[in-house]
Structure 1
Amino acid sequence: MNRVSTSGNYSALLNNLMAAQQRQVEAGNQVSSERKASDLKGYARDAETLTAVRSMRNRVDGFLDQTQILVSRLSMQDNAMGQVSDAAQSARDAIANALATGSGSTLMQELQLAFTNTVQGLNTKFQGEYLFAGGQVNTAATSAGSLSDLTAAPTTASLFQNDQFKTSNRLDESTTLQTGFLASDVGGPLFDAFKTVQAYSETPAGNFGGSLTDAQKSFLEGVLAGFDTVHNNLINTNARNGLLQSQVDNARQDLSTRKDALEESFGDLTNVDMAAALTRLQQAQTSVQAAAQVFQGLKDASLLNYLR
């Protein structure tokens, strides 16, 4: 024969009420956060998989951040190389125009302007660092300022301050690209072409102040081919930078696809089934209400009331 006591009934009812309240809290948290749990303990056997997916997602996020910076860097390099290439074309055009008009009165001024644009392109900065200086990112890639510096220096190579370090960037776990270019490689041949004209202009026969002499015309016709070659090489160098941009864009798209897949996997592990969570919340609320009503009824059914 089982004994029925008021304290026993209260104890059983309170346990049921607290269990219902706990289920209500858990279901409410899932509905409000749209997550199955707030910590790894709540994911039980999926915790290890969840940790691995989160680690991969963080690694992909890191690569995406790096590629975004690299996209901006390569774009800046493209603009700088384009400026140097345009300067070479401008110098070539200035020589061709002098030959066409038979006058060299403005030739050296135009060449100085083209040279200034060349130096500015080679000394381009990205995020406060010189792009074409190799590892010497805090030192201007070239110290030249005017055409006369080319003939004053022992060699054009001495005017470049870059070292031989070429920047490399890791796109993902298995791909690394060499993305850096050196000022001496990009601008060296163009400096030599400018120096040839400047050195001639400093000779008695090279005064381009008025109408061109036959000797001056012959000289300028000879240097045109050199500027054409330099310009074509600069275009090819810029094209190499463009290929790097294409590779980085492709890598960024692949990383974005991987990130989306990992986000989906992460969501499958952590996101709660809202319909089921709402159903559990409603059931828990009903259980709490029912337990509360029974608790109220139990107060009125106390044995003490009958003993009185």
Structure 2
Amino acid sequence: PQASAPAQPAAPPAEKKAPAPTASTAIPDGLALAPSVRRLIAEKHLDVTKIQGTGPGGRISKGDILLHLEKAPAGIPEAPPVAAAPTFPAPVATEERKPMSPIRKRIAERLLASKQNTAMLTTFNEIDMSRAMAIRSLYKDAFQKRHGVALGFMSFFVKACVEALKEVPEINAFIDGNDLIYHNYQHIGVAVGTDRGLVVPVIRHAERMGFAQVEKAIVDYVAKIKENRLELADLEGGTFTVSNGGVYGSLLSTPILNTPQSGILGMHKIEKRPVVIDDQIVIRPMMYVALSYDHRVVDGKGAVTFLKRVKEFVENPERMALEV
């Protein structure tokens, strides 16, 4: 019989591959290591150059790895898994075009004309509101009961401006061509912010009014504005304007002239501040006030004098009643 070929020895079982080492723990090529040793190095992220081998020819054994871990148990910390960053849709830049409303267009035209056609300058002062606040607090209930309206600070300032305009009449004057027109009456415009824009209804002959009449006029105009009943005639004929940016939190600003007027007073937020009175530092409720004026009509002396008189009248409201 024909002789059969000798049986081939069975192939050894395939070795289980160790995890691929990271760049920081790469095993040098040609370094003879048992598979179990390679796997342990990869799992612990070890630097083989720092491990002392005790096997034949300095070969690193599993025991060498364990001894190295005992000496430096922390090893190289495994990097935590990095969570994928959340993705968001890219923001879309949008625009919206709306035509200007007639009232906003008119406001823009008038403000631009005021800046271009006047020599506007602004002077500032501050007012101690302690006395006015005390009087308002003392009489507000009786005032409301008798007159049917609340006592606000706007009436204090309107009446103070009326008295100061009598002393500095050029602020109550207009330029008409080559002439100056002086007014022997005070039509005071009161700036009111609305959803449609800023409007300035005029309190006519404020010099003939008391505090209650001024407050009633303001309340009536506010009602007209809310009910959309304001007429063009309500906005015409003013000789001076008072604007209160303090109701919106403004601490200081430079109001723009309401042409052809030559002056506008800006009221601001009442804020407690340290001030020196009789060489003592005290805390008082203070308000910055600003007077913008047309320098073509009003000199600096007149503007400063006007603002000083407004300050004196508001800080001592009884002076307005006594006309001193």
TM-score under structure 1 normalisation? 0.18
Q: Which has the higher helix share?
A: 1
Question: Which protein, 1 or 2, shows the higher relative CO under an 8 Å CA cutoff with sep ≥ 6?
Answer: 1
The structure whose residues are more often strand, as a share, is 2
Select the structure of larger CA radius of gyration: 2
